[in-house]
Chain A
Amino acid sequence: MELLDWSLISSTIRMVTPILLAALGGALCARVGIFNVGLEGLVLVGAFSAIVGNHFTGSLFLAILFAALVCVLFSLLFAYMTIGLRANEIVVGVAINFLALGLTTFALRAIFGVKGAFYDKEMAGLPKLDIPVIKDIPVLGDIFSGHSPLVYLAFIAAIVLYLFFYRTVTGFRVLAVGLSPVAARSLGLKVTGLQVLAITMCGILCGVAGAQLSLGQVTMFTEGMTAGRGFIALVAMMMGQSHPLGILASSFLFGLMDALSIRLQGLSLPTQFTSMLPYVLTIIAMFFVKEKSQAGGRGQSSR
């Protein structure tokens, strides 16, 4: 088995999806001035509810919708605690993560009566979309065609978010809230409303990210199956400076590492070693992540 070939890129695109979606959600929160550490938990909840939705409705569309809905509820809890009760967002985020881990494990037993993992061979995973024309082009077809719809949705989401931030009035105001809540409030902008809006949108994105994990890549749920992808999304978000296109690039890097670690297992390297790859990259990435707030926008403090 070769280390590098075209299918590596194809699997990168698959692996990048949950990270990208969650990172975009995190960016929305970051842009309104809230550092959402709870991405990991939200994605996990999304992954579990997607399976639940699929199991009980039998419809993939409803399953994804259900996952998004449950995640929105979770993120509203986050919003209520951080904005409503003014609790520290890091603490609330960590709490959300543990709550998600415990609750999904508990619900796994309560709903499906199993421990560790739930798998049902009757259950259908997300279909593979073949894109006409492109699928017939030799290399491009292998890379870009035949992914689950959510993969394409993730890339569209990045572009939509870019347009939202930099082309629409609401997006402009969202950015304003993050840059200076005090100034935004003095202008009569609805700061709280915009923050809740961003957190809700983050919930939707995390729900879809979870659905891709449990229905797109595999068709099962295992306890803690996010395995730190929410945290990697957080790093991808910071590396991408909360800019949708920057995040697209940084998520790709992490997706590549994810895909590479699986590929390396095929080369009889120990699993424990290869699965370190994304995290090693995370640590390296931290050296290059600069706190953006210190870089610019300090003009008005020059009194």
Chain B
Amino acid sequence: MTHRLEMKQMTKKYGEFTANDQVSLTLEAGEVHAIVGENGAGKTTLMRMLYGMEQPTAGEILLNGKPVSFRGPNDAIRNGIGMVHQHFMLFGEFSVAENIVIGYEPKQAGFFRRKEAVEKVSALSEQYRIPINPQARVSTCSVGEQQRVEILKVLYQGADIIVLDEPTAVLTPLEVKDLLQTIRNLAASGKSVILITHKLQEVMEVSDRITVLRGGRVTGTVSRHETNVDDLARLMVGRELEELSQRIPLEGKRLLHVDQVTVREKQTLLDNVSFAVHHGEIVGIAGVSGNGQSELLQVISGLRPVQAGKIHLAGADVTNKSVESIRQAGLAHIPEDRYMWGTAKQESVEENALMGYQRKPDYYRRGVILRDAFRQVVRGWVDRFAIKTGSRQLQELAGNLSGGNLQKLIVARELGQETPLLVAAEPTRGVDIGAMEYIHQALIEKRNSGDGILLVSSELSEILALSDRILVMYKGRIAGELARSEATEEKISVLMAGGNVHGSDQRAV
């Protein structure tokens, strides 16, 4: 029997390093096949070989039983393989229809028939029940809409096999639901979907079969009905996951006090926000992104001024103070966007690690940074967090690290500050299960040692696992507060959508 796609014994070596070691995979028509694995397990390499972006060292790709070899994405597209990249490949200034037809534009004598493009795109959108507005500018579309544009683009290009690379990483819970429905619709209409992810819940919800990769090898191919999240996690990590440490009950003093803070630009971004974080407490902030969480973090860490209200940290007034003086008052910050706020991509791992330490007396004497002394510390972090820095080790450019490894570096750096307050925004975004476990453990330990943590995350599971108290933000306000004991995913979701939960009084500190 021939499969729609068969990858046989695929091996890819980069010098000494084997990224894929005899990986085999089959895909049937109408099947959703998930490929799961930690960062660096070889998922991306495998897909790059399928998409013609990398040439395999050994192995064979059979398409409907016939061997094929692709020299570039063009070959793959022509053979009915489409890829939706994790970072969208869209043109913000073009319309939705233009983005979908680009490369295969309907034309007449060299002139672009935009009307026909809109018609074709509308028809496609109806056929696969993927709603979009063909004439909207892509830059005005939400992330979920942009992803639908990407999916329609590969369908327009005639793909029978659709590869989705970490598609849910950027979506809100509601958008994830829509996407999973879309994936099922596609499979029902005979398309085959390869889903690359490390979110096991979603895998269990939507896929027919699951292939698990670890360290470049297949550690198992299972049918969804024969497995569960725990088994998959074990296959991915190669060991049992450990339970998080017990949280010691602590009654600490007030550490951070945000008092009626208001931020107004063209519109009100933060509206009279008040809350407190105590010593020995993790306060989680949930909310659909864009409801003021980013602004709140920036205000607390000194990146954005407030128009009204006060912020006190460890007894000192830090309202509208500089980042440096707030950090000195006792704040460390894992920023939400690691590239924009967290690192300098063009600098080395060591220099990135040094940021924030350059004036500490241990590493600084008479205007000179004591690099040797500091290097020992960085090596310690790299070992402890198992940060893969690449061939040049500490001198590797930060931009060459994978997102997960860069995130670990930032987490290590900010934990190393040993400040009473840690502001952690999306601390595990893009990191794999093993590292996530480690970061969560480190946060719990910090809490147990009597420090306070303000956690902002779009992952409800993360908020629920770590927080002592949960605040939900909606439209720049604190829409509700839930104690750990009463918090459920349902209650938080309702608050996130602007609803009301009975039994949650709106305590303001």
Q: Which residue of B lies closest to A190 (CB)?
A: B74
Chain B contact patch, size range: 20 to 34
Q: Does A96 sit within 8 A of B, measured CB to CB?
A: no
List the 5 closest A-B pairs by CB distance, nearest first.
A297-B92, A299-B139, A188-B74, A183-B89, A297-B93
Which one of A168, A186, A296 contacts B92 once the chains associate, using CB atoms below 8 Å? A296
Q: Does B255 sit within 8 A of A, measured CB to CB?
A: no
Find out whether the CB atom of B94 lies under 8 angstroms from the CB atom of A300. no
Q: Which of A155-179 contact B (CB under 8 A)?
A: 167-173, 175-176, 179
Q: Which residue of B lies closest to A170 (CB)?
A: B110
The 8 A CB mask of A278-303 against B (1 = contact, 0 = none) is 00000000000000000011111011
Stretch at the interface among B140-148, B268-276, B501-509: B140-148
Find out whether the CB atom of B143 lies under 8 angstroms from the CB atom of A303. yes
Q: Does B138 sit within 8 A of A, measured CB to CB?
A: yes
Which one of B88, B112, B138 contacts A169 once the chains associate, using CB atoms below 8 Å? B112
Find out whether the CB atom of B146 lies under 8 angstroms from the CB atom of A188. no
Complex Cα–Cα for A300 and B143 (A): 7
Chain B residue numbers with a CB within 8 Å of A173 are 102-103
Complex Cα–Cα for A241 and B107 (A): 27
Which one of A170, A171, A183 contacts B90 once the chains associate, using CB atoms below 8 Å? A183
Find out whether the CB atom of A300 lies under 8 angstroms from the CB atom of B103. no
Find out whether the CB atom of A300 lies under 8 angstroms from the CB atom of B90. yes
Complex Cα–Cα for A297 and B146 (A): 13
Find out whether the CB atom of A298 lies under 8 angstroms from the CB atom of B139. yes
Q: Does A73 sit within 8 A of B, measured CB to CB?
A: no
Q: Which residue of A lies closest to B105 (CB)?
A: A169
Contact flag A169-B107 (CB < 8 Å), given A186-B73, A188-B77: yes
Find out whether the CB atom of A296 lies under 8 angstroms from the CB atom of B88. no
Q: Which residue of A lies closest to B289 (CB)?
A: A302
Contact flag A179-B143 (CB < 8 Å), given A186-B85, A299-B138: no
Find out whether the CB atom of A300 lies under 8 angstroms from the CB atom of B146. yes
Question: Closest approach, in angstroms, between the C-beta of B275 and any C-beta of chain A?
Answer: 26
Interface of A is mostly: helix
Contact flag A176-B91 (CB < 8 Å), given A186-B73, A186-B85: yes
Complex Cα–Cα for A182 and B53 (A): 13
Contact flag A188-B72 (CB < 8 Å), given A179-B94, A183-B89, A298-B92: yes
Contact flag A179-B91 (CB < 8 Å), given A172-B105, A173-B102: yes
Chain A residue numbers with a CB within 8 Å of B107 are 169
Question: Closest approach, in angstroms, between the C-beta of A171 and any C-beta of chain B?
Answer: 8
Q: Does B337 sit within 8 A of A, measured CB to CB?
A: yes
Complex Cα–Cα for A105 and B112 (A): 46
Q: Which of B43-97 contact A (CB under 8 A)?
A: 72-74, 77, 85, 87-94
Find out whether the CB atom of B141 lies under 8 angstroms from the CB atom of A182. no
Q: Which of B441-459 contact A (CB under 8 A)?
A: none
Which one of B89, B98, B105, B143 contacts A180 once the chains associate, using CB atoms below 8 Å? B89
Complex Cα–Cα for A17 and B160 (A): 53
Find out whether the CB atom of A167 lies under 8 angstroms from the CB atom of B94. no
Q: Does A189 sit within 8 A of B, measured CB to CB?
A: yes
Contact flag A176-B102 (CB < 8 Å), given A167-B112, A170-B110, A298-B139: yes
Contact flag A303-B337 (CB < 8 Å), given A172-B98, A179-B93: yes
Chain B residue numbers with a CB within 8 Å of A4 are none
Q: Does A187 sit within 8 A of B, measured CB to CB?
A: yes
Chain A residue numbers with a CB within 8 Å of B77 are 188
Interface of B is mostly: loop
Q: Does B14 sit within 8 A of A, measured CB to CB?
A: no
On A, residues with C-beta under 8 Å from B are: 167-173, 175-176, 179-180, 182-183, 186-189, 296-300, 302-303
Chain A residue numbers with a CB within 8 Å of B105 are 169, 172
Contact flag A299-B111 (CB < 8 Å), given A179-B93, A187-B89: no
Question: Closest approach, in angstroms, between the C-beta of B171 and any C-beta of chain A?
Answer: 10
Q: Does B176 sit within 8 A of A, measured CB to CB?
A: no
Q: Which residue of B lies closest to A299 (CB)?
A: B139
Q: Which residue of A lies closest to B143 (CB)?
A: A302
Contact flag A172-B102 (CB < 8 Å), given A167-B112, A303-B143, A303-B337: yes
Query: Other than the known A169-B111, A180-B90, what 13 A-B pairs have Cβ atoms closer than 8 Å?
Result: A168-B111, A170-B110, A172-B105, A176-B102, A183-B91, A186-B85, A187-B89, A188-B73, A189-B102, A297-B93, A297-B139, A300-B88, A300-B92
The 8 A CB mask of B279-323 against A (1 = contact, 0 = none) is 000000000000000000000000000000000000000000000
Chain A residue numbers with a CB within 8 Å of B74 are 188
Find out whether the CB atom of B89 lies under 8 angstroms from the CB atom of A186. yes
Chain B residue numbers with a CB within 8 Å of A188 are 72-74, 77, 103
Find out whether the CB atom of B91 lies under 8 angstroms from the CB atom of A169. no
Q: Does B487 sit within 8 A of A, measured CB to CB?
A: no
Complex Cα–Cα for A188 and B103 (A): 7
Find out whether the CB atom of A182 lies under 8 angstroms from the CB atom of B89. yes
Find out whether the CB atom of A299 lies under 8 angstroms from the CB atom of B102. no
Complex Cα–Cα for A179 and B93 (A): 8
Complex Cα–Cα for A99 and B178 (A): 59
Complex Cα–Cα for A186 and B112 (A): 21
Contact flag A180-B170 (CB < 8 Å), given A169-B112, A186-B85, A300-B146: no
Instruction: Sample 23 A-B pairs with CB under 8 A, ordered by A number.
Output: A167-B111, A168-B111, A168-B112, A169-B105, A169-B111, A169-B112, A172-B102, A172-B112, A173-B103, A179-B92, A180-B90, A183-B91, A186-B73, A187-B89, A188-B72, A188-B73, A296-B92, A296-B93, A298-B139, A299-B138, A299-B146, A300-B87, A300-B138
For A170, A180, A303, the residue with the greatest tally of chain B CB atoms inside 10 Å of its CB is A303
Chain A residue numbers with a CB within 8 Å of B92 are 179, 296-300
Complex Cα–Cα for A187 and B146 (A): 16
Question: Closest approach, in angstroms, between the C-beta of A273 and any C-beta of chain B?
Answer: 43
Chain B residue numbers with a CB within 8 Å of A303 are 143, 170, 337
Q: Which of B147-165 contact A (CB under 8 A)?
A: none
Chain A residue numbers with a CB within 8 Å of B337 are 303
Chain A residue numbers with a CB within 8 Å of B143 are 302-303
Question: Closest approach, in angstroms, between the C-beta of B298 and any C-beta of chain A?
Answer: 15
